[in-house]
Every structure is written in C-alpha cells, then in structure tokens.
Chains A and B, each alone.
Chain A
Amino acid sequence: GEDVEQSLFLSVREGDSSVINCTYTDSSSTYLYWYKQEPGAGLQLLTYIFSNMDMKQDQRLTVLLNKKDKHLSLRIADTQTGDSAIYFCAEALRDYKLSFGAGTTVTVRA
C-alpha cells in the first residue's frame, strides 16, 4: 500500500481557496514536498517544507505540517483555472528517495 495518502479528487470554485491534504508514515522524513502535474507534462516542484517547520508561505501557497499527526496540507488561495492539475504530496525517505502519494486531481469550476 501507499506510504503517503491523499484524497483523489477536489472540486473548487474559481476564487475560492483549495485545501489538499496528505498523510505520511515515516516520522524520520526530513523534507515533504508538493508537486504539480499538468496534462502531458512532468512534475513541477511547487514548494517544500523542512520537517522542523510548522508552516511555510509562498505567495498564494501555504503549507502546514503537523508532525505529530504526520499530516501535511497545501492551501491555494484565490484558486484560478490554471491551478487545475494533479497535485502530489511526497516525503523524502532516507534523505534521497521520495515516496509519492497517488495524487489529488483538482478541478476549478467557473
């Protein structure tokens, strides 16, 4: 089974905030990542957070990390149609290998 779990689908209205949730299992993970994949493209790094941080903000993106519950979330403020994509959560295992979730497909509706 997956070490990293995410909900598979999220539908959000344009202009609203999106929140994508992820749980992971390896408490020794040093970094946790969010990647975005648009159709036919590879994965684009959106943001990442070091395990000793609780929060990281980067423009419209806010990452929250609850290390006790092994829960990671990505909030996208003012969601736009260009934000429609698959979002992958990943944890760094043993400092080099990444374990990915199955991805959350975000659909932005007008």
Chain B
Amino acid sequence: GAGVSQSPSNKVTEKGKDVELRCDPISGHTALYWYRQRLGQGLEFLIYFQGNSAPDKSGLPSDRFSAERTGESVSTLTIQRTQQEDSAVYLCASSGVRNSPLHFGNGTRLTVT
C-alpha cells in the first residue's frame, strides 16, 4: 500500500472490555512498531517486530497488553480488560532496511469510558 494503515481510526469502549487494534504496514517493510501517545505527551514505545525474530515486548505496560504479527504483514495490538488510563492514541510504524526511518500510520484514538 501507499502508507501504513491503521484501523479503526477511533474506538470508544467501556471499561473492562477487550479491544483489538489493527496495523497494515507498508508492503515489504520488515520492521513494525507500536507506540502509545497520551494527550499532550511524547511517544511511548510498546513493542517491536523484526522479521521472524522474537519481538521486543519491553515497552508493554502490563500483561493486559499483547500484540501479534503474521509474518511481515498485519499486526494486531490487543488490550484486555481496558482501563481509563489506556485512553490514548496508538500509533503503528514500519520501516524497511535496518536504520531506515519509521513511517507512521494516522493512529487509532482509543477512549475508555
């Protein structure tokens, strides 16, 4: 595709429900990242996938958060039993060869009521 695509663009959910966020990276990009952006703050690293290597999950804030990626394509970020503090914009990015810049999607704005 032309860019990184994320869906849904907006998600409102009730506290305690599970949500699943989707990211379609740029075709051919082997690296995929998830970041979280709270209102008025910078980006917080969540997880990184590189090809078939084990993902770097060091940024996941709790065991309620998990992510999967199928090969070098789509990734899903799942948040179980959502809490109000999970409200944020979740950004996905992908990159090609090592050290190449990250290309970001427009994010999913998650609101937990």
Contact = CB atoms under 8 A, between A and B. Distances in A.
B31 A96 contact: yes
A48 B103 CA distance: 13
A99 B45 contact: yes
| Size bracket of the A interface | 20 to 34
Main SS at interface, chain A: strand
9 contacts: A42-B91, A96-B48, A96-B50, A97-B33, A97-B45, A98-B33, A100-B43, A102-B40, A103-B41
B33 to A, nearest CB: 8
Interface of A: 2, 4, 30-31, 33, 35, 40-45, 48, 88, 90, 92, 95-103
A103 B42 contact: yes
A65 to B, nearest CB: 16
A98 B106 contact: no
A92 B48 contact: no
A92 B93 CA distance: 14
Nearest to A102: B42
Contacts of B42: 2, 4, 88, 100-103
Given A30-B99, A41-B106, A92-B99, 20 more contacts: A4-B42, A31-B99, A33-B101, A35-B104, A40-B106, A42-B4, A42-B106, A43-B93, A44-B104, A45-B104, A48-B101, A90-B43, A96-B31, A97-B48, A98-B102, A99-B45, A100-B35, A100-B42, A101-B42, A102-B40
B98 A95 contact: yes
B99 A45 contact: no
A2 B42 CA distance: 9
B105 interface: yes
Nearest to B95: A96
Contacts of B4: 42
A68 B103 CA distance: 29
B106 A97 contact: no
Contacts of A48: 101
Q: 4 tightest A-B contacts by CB?
A: A42-B104, A102-B42, A100-B43, A43-B104
